[in-house]
Amino acid sequence: MRNLRSPLARWREGCPMRAHDALPAPLRLWLKGAVLPWSAESARRIWEREVRRSGVAGALRRLAEVEAATLARERGRRGEI
């Protein structure tokens, strides 16, 4: 439930669980350990693009990079080190 407290959390239209369940298994597993509250749509968009470019491992690596960059930006906005 820690993800729901993030200022990055946004409410989406539709059934988020159905959208999540429709994601590929490796992506669902990655999201399970994610720090940020990813929407199924944003994760799917990155996943599909990166799987075409560099396969499953590349897609998982890119998701981690995007998450790390977002966390760094948020820390900078809050003045945290």
How many domains, in total, are found in the chain? Answer: 1
pLDDT digits (tens, 9 = 90+) for 7-31: 555 555 678 789 999 999 999 999 9
pTM: 0.75
Q: Is residue 45 part of a domain?
A: yes
Q: Is residue 7 part of a domain?
A: no
Q: Give the span between the Cα atoms of 10 and 38, in whole angstroms.
A: 9
pLDDT digits (tens, 9 = 90+) for 40-58: 999 999 999 999 999 999 9
pLDDT value of residue 1? 47
Indicate the SS3 state at residue 81: coil
Confidence at 67, pLDDT banded by 50, 70, 90: very high
Domain, as residue range, for 51: 16-78
Q: Is residue 10 part of a domain?
A: no
pLDDT value of residue 77? 78
For the segment 37-42, the average pLDDT, to the nearest whole number, is 94
